[in-house]
């Protein structure tokens, strides 16, 4: 049995993730099956990096373990990663964004190892330059914990699919923005405790509530009278824009949200105007035409 296990581990050290994922079912391992492939690939890539940088030498205390039958495997890989980082860049120095060892779920611990391994490889070789044979992982694992947690949770709930290109050098920033905009547009309005339904109808409370047919305020069509009831529909997500699309009796126009009884929190919770169908028009008595 020991010899069979040795050969299985040897195979895992030299094959790609798909085969490793299939073989893990044949191995009696106490490690979370979702975390195990991540750990296997992290160990193989860690060995590639240490071979590239130190040759046959290893830092003092190096385990080199890929014993998937021990629950301590994540800890042993993390310790080897920290030993290599200490050897290559300094005992107390770490790349910006380094996660380090943090107690969490098995998958999160494996994810953190992969994240820091990629940072170390960037620090040693330059961004996205890897030794031949590098297995790698889901590009999302290179992003911040918050971005990973948000994207994974949204996708698990259905309705959200990340579209940012994995080849984009700003992938993590694009993923964070995409997920955040989805929450603002789709989830925040329903979860807001001070939403429109709870606070009553929204009305115009400024004598300077100018209506426009476009969100860039280039086509004014008159001022909406004080006390007019409006239905906030969506807002512009352009940075620093205060424009929102509203509907009422005989009009569908853009206006500055501050000219109404809408709160800033309610304004921020409105969906992106680009995500809805709209056709601005103004036929009310107060409209002055284009």
Q: What phi and psi, each to the nearest 5 degrees, are found at residue 53?
A: -90, -35
Q: What is the pLDDT of residue 38?
A: 95
**Structure token digits, residue 75:** 């800890």
**Per-residue pLDDT at 221 exceeds 60:** yes
Q: What pLDDT score was predicted for residue 288?
A: 86
Span 72-83, average pLDDT: 95
User: Are 235 and 272 within 8 A, CB to CB?
Assistant: yes
Write down the pLDDT at residue 3. Answer: 44
Q: How many CA atoms lie within 13 A of 63 on its CB side?
A: 15
Q: 26: burial class by Cβ within 10 Å (0-12, 13-18, 19+)?
A: exposed
The number of beta carbons lying within 10 Å of the beta carbon of residue 226 is 12
CA distance 28 to 236: 55
| DSSP code, position 72 | T
How far is residue 158's CA from residue 144's CA, in Å, rounded to a whole number? Answer: 22
Of the CA atoms within 13 Å of residue 99, those in its CB half-sphere come to 25
> Where does the pLDDT of residue 12 fall: very low under 50, low under 70, confident under 90, or very high at 90 and above?
very low
Q: Which residues contact 268 (CB under 8 A, 6 or more apart)?
A: 184, 188, 235
DSSP letter, residue 68 = T
pLDDT of 114 reads: 96
Percent of the chain with pLDDT over 90: 53
pTM: 0.59
Dist. CA 125–CA 131, nearest whole Å: 9
What's the CA gap between 37 and 32, in Å, rounded?
9
Instruction: Name the residue with higher pLDDT: 189 or 224.
Output: 224
Q: What is the pLDDT of residue 23?
A: 44
Q: Is the dihedral of CA 199, 205, 211, 217 positive or negative?
A: negative
Cα–Cα nearest to 120, from 142, 141, 143, 94: 94
Q: For residue 142, what is the DSSP state?
A: G
């Amino acid at each position: 049995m020991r010899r069979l296990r040795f050969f299985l581990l040897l195979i895992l050290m030299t094959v790609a993730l798909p085969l490793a994922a299939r073989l893990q079912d044949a191995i009696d391992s106490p490690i979370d099956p979702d975390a195990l492939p991540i750990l296997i690939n992290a160990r193989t890539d860690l060995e590639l990096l240490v071979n590239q940088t130190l040759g046959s030498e290893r830092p003092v205390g190096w385990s080199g373990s890929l014993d998937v039958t021990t629950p301590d495997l994540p800890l042993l890989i993390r310790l080897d990663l920290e030993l290599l980082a200490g050897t290559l860049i300094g005992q107390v120095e770490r790349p910006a964004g380094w996660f380090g060892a943090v107690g969490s779920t098995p998958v999160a611990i494996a994810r953190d190892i992969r994240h820091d391994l990629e940072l170390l490889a960037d620090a040693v070789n330059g961004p996205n330059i890897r030794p031949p044979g590098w297995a790698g992982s889901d590009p999302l694992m290179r992003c911040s914990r918050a971005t990973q947690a948000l994207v994974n949770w949204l996708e698990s709930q259905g309705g959200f699919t990340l579209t940012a290109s994995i080849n984009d050098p700003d992938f993590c920033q694009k993923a964070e923005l995409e997920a955040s905009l989805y929450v603002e547009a789709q989830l925040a309005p329903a979860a807001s405790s001070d939403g429109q339904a709870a606070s009553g109808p929204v009305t115009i409370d400024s004598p300077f509530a100018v209506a426009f047919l476009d969100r860039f305020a280039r086509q004014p069509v008159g001022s909406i009278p004080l006390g007019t009831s409006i239905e906030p529909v969506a807002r512009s997500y352009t940075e620093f824009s205060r424009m929102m699309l509203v509907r009422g009796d005989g009009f569908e126009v853009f206006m500055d949200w501050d000219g109404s009884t809408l709160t800033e929190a309610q304004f921020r919770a409105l969906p992106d105007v680009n995500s809805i169908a709209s056709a601005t028009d103004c036929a009310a008595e107060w409209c002055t035409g284009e």
